Amino acid sequence: MRKKLGALILAAVPALGIAYFPRSHAQDGQDAQAAAQSNVPHYLRHISSPSNEVDQIIEEAKVLDAYHGRFGTSTFINGNITLEHQIHGKNVTFVFHNYVQQGEQVRYGANGFTMLSQAEFAAVTSDIVTTLERAAQEAYNDHSNVSRRIIEIQEVHLKRNKRLGENEKLEDLLDQPIPDYPGLTIADGLNIPRLTVTDFVPTQLHFGPLPRSILGVTYLNSEVVGYHPLARQIDFVNGGPNVLKHELVHNCRKLQGIPYAFEFDAEFHASMVEQDNGLWFLRHPYLEDARSLAKVLFRFDAKRALENAIPMQLMLGSPIRRDLLEDYVVKIRQIRTEIRRTYLDDFLPEFYTHHAFWTAVNEDLNDGNGAFKIFMWSKYEPTLLQGAQNTSRWMQQNRQIIEDASRQALRNIENEQPAEGGIVMALRALPKEEREALISFASTLGIQAQDLGPALRVLERLADSGALNRLGRLR
């Protein structure tokens, strides 16, 4: 999983960046020494962390400008300085990419070579270690009520349905084994993520460059996280390790392990722990559903807000309407808090309480965020049509039409999905022999019309993996 910069940033003209890029490392001598003394790691020198959110937006852009063209990748993991350190009681291997010990000094090779003193490098390690410590703690804090809430809600449900006696406590049963399923407990059967802070701590943290516009990356289930120096700078500007926290949510395999990460919008979830400046909300692709919900439920139109705040994209840089943006960021903060609290405090417990149901709902709606959208609609009244009263009245008046459209939409996604990109196309894309083999395979299984749903999905998966192999080679 990776976090990307918005498209705007990538599209900007790289030549400009290069024009004033070399400056950052050309400065040495007194500057470096002064910085080392004040314990600031070399990549944070000269960067400010403003408290005003619009100033954050502007400073973040300056940092990005200074980085144009600098996305690359380390060739080998080997040969970098590594460090073992305990984070919240868990052993973590830190790999400092392109930092190499050379005699008394450390050679840093991001763009040409720079020599750092031991003290300067110590500032680097201490910064990364404390940043990870803080990010893990904050990511966990955001989820610290989830397990308890799930158990509470499940207990109420199971008691109401008489599956659990009035005096029984679900909590006490969770570690009991399930007969016939060696190694599985009742908690496993219920799929309750019982979280601790260490679940968010990776076993390897790679501090180093990443390709294209990727700021952070997590290999699902592997507890291996990559964190770009540029992401560290952006996090510094915005006053908190947002990018790293995002990755640590991916890192938590109880929440986002395989196969669960495929069954909901894992990026949306990971983005919920971020508290970066308002511009991210206005344009980051992972937050598109948040913008939609904000519009229909909270009447905040992010698209128009962005157009108003940055009216033109000019090649020489875009003007910000500061007065407007100052107003928007306040509203955005309010909206984001509302959405993130609902997601983390209320939605996640509900999602895991009825995990089998909600993951099937996402499938049914062909939408990884379907369950969350439903949840938001169960908590908030829409306001988009001139306020809550009017909107509610309009909904009632149009109920019949809406239900008709709903039925039709369901048929369409059921029927047309195969024709458009699903199984039929996937089957067609297969070589003749494979295709025939699949079809005859299905018939030997005695698959009947009413069972075709699951069969199609199986075929789709098979077809997917073939397509994956073909596409994989292109990369």
Partner 1 sequence: MKRFPQKATLPALAFAAFIGLAGCVKKTFDTEVKRILTEEYSMTEEQAMVGVGGALRYRFMTERDGKLEFNYHSLKLEDVLSKQRDMKQSLQDILNPNDAETRRFVDLFNQRAHFEREEQKVDYRIDRFSLVLTYDKFVRLMKSQRRGNDSVGITNPYPQGLTDLDIMFAGTNLARLLQFTAKYVDDAKAGNRLNQIENLVMSVQYEEEEPNPDYPQVDPNNATRWVQRSRALRIMSFDCDTQPDHRADYIEVYRIGADGTPEANPAIKVFKSQGSSTLDVAVLDRNPANQRGHGTPDDVESLSFIERGSELYDSRRDLLESLFKTPEVERRQLPKEAPIEAEIVRVGELGQQEFQISTDGWSCPLEYRVGNNYSLWVKFKDEESHDHANPRPREIEYVAKRYFVPGSSSDVQARVVEFYRVKPEFAQRVRLVTVNNETKMLEIVREGEAAQKGMDSLFLERDRNDLVTPFRIDYDSGNLRISLLDRDRNPEPLYEAKAEMSRPHTLNLRNDARTE
Interacting residue ranges for Zn ion, rule: CB under 5 A = 1, 3, 267, 270
| Residue pair 306/25 in contact by the 8 Å Cβ criterion | no
Place of tokens 């005859």: 440
- Residue 271 CB, shortest distance to Zn ion, in Å, is 7
Task: Annotate 125-137 with b (16+ C-beta within 10 A) or e (fewer).
Answer: bebbbebbbebbb
Which residue number, 1 or 124, has a Cβ lying nearer to Zn ion? 1
Residue 48 burial (CB count, 10 A): 13
Residue 252 binds: one of Zn ion, partner 1, none (C-beta under 5 to 8 A by kind): none
Residue 394 binds: one of Zn ion, partner 1, none (C-beta under 5 to 8 A by kind): partner 1
- Residue 74 CB, shortest distance to Zn ion, in Å, is 20
Tokens representing 330 are: 């306040």
Tell whether the torsion through CA atoms of 298, 242, 363 and 356 is positive or negative.
negative
- Residue 371 CB, shortest distance to partner 1, in Å, is 9
Which residue number, 15 or 356, has a Cβ lying nearer to partner 1? 356
- Residue 249 CB, shortest distance to partner 1, in Å, is 13
Residue 129 binds: one of partner 1, Zn ion, none (C-beta under 5 to 8 A by kind): none
Q: Can you tell me whether residue 314 is helix, strand or coil? A: coil
Residue 9 binds: one of partner 1, Zn ion, none (C-beta under 5 to 8 A by kind): none
Residue 170 burial (CB count, 10 A): 22
d(CA 286, CA 272): 10
Angle between helices 370-379 and 355-365 (to 10 degrees): 110
- Residue 247 CB, shortest distance to Zn ion, in Å, is 7
Residue 382 binds: one of Zn ion, partner 1, none (C-beta under 5 to 8 A by kind): partner 1
Residue 224 binds: one of partner 1, Zn ion, none (C-beta under 5 to 8 A by kind): partner 1
Residue 189 binds: one of partner 1, Zn ion, none (C-beta under 5 to 8 A by kind): partner 1
| Residue pair 362/263 in contact by the 8 Å Cβ criterion | yes
- Residue 177 CB, shortest distance to partner 1, in Å, is 9
Indicate the residue whose CB is closest to Zn ion. 1
d(CA 298, CA 296): 6
Residue 190 binds: one of Zn ion, partner 1, none (C-beta under 5 to 8 A by kind): partner 1
Strands of 214-219's sheet in order across: 2-4, 214-219, 224-227, 204-207, 90-96, 81-87
Which residue number, 98 or 218, has a Cβ lying nearer to Zn ion? 218
Residue 182 burial (CB count, 10 A): 7
For residue 226, the surrounding DSSP H or E stretch is strand 224-227
- Residue 272 CB, shortest distance to partner 1, in Å, is 14
- Residue 8 CB, shortest distance to Zn ion, in Å, is 19
Residue 356 binds: one of Zn ion, partner 1, none (C-beta under 5 to 8 A by kind): partner 1
The beta strand positions in 9-120, using DSSP E, are: 81-87, 90-96, 99-102, 105-108, 114-116
Residue 157 binds: one of Zn ion, partner 1, none (C-beta under 5 to 8 A by kind): partner 1
Which residue number, 145 or 191, has a Cβ lying nearer to partner 1? 191
- Residue 106 CB, shortest distance to partner 1, in Å, is 28
Which residue number, 38 or 161, has a Cβ lying nearer to partner 1? 161
Which residue number, 344 or 463, has a Cβ lying nearer to Zn ion? 344
Which residue number, 353 or 362, has a Cβ lying nearer to Zn ion? 362
Which residue number, 3 or 283, has a Cβ lying nearer to Zn ion? 3
Which residue number, 28 or 381, has a Cβ lying nearer to partner 1? 381
Degrees, nearest 5: CA angle 409-413-415: 110
Residue 9 burial (CB count, 10 A): 16
Residue 19 binds: one of partner 1, Zn ion, none (C-beta under 5 to 8 A by kind): none
Which residue number, 42 or 269, has a Cβ lying nearer to partner 1? 269
- Residue 420 CB, shortest distance to partner 1, in Å, is 7
| Residue pair 22/241 in contact by the 8 Å Cβ criterion | no
Task: Annotate 224-257 with b (16+ C-beta within 10 A) or e (fewer).
Answer: bbbbbbbbbbbbbbbebbbbbbbbbbbbbbbbbe
d(CA 40, CA 47): 10
- Residue 8 CB, shortest distance to partner 1, in Å, is 10
| Residue pair 268/370 in contact by the 8 Å Cβ criterion | no
Which residue number, 59 or 274, has a Cβ lying nearer to Zn ion? 274
Half-sphere exposure of 213 (CA within 13 A, CB side): 14
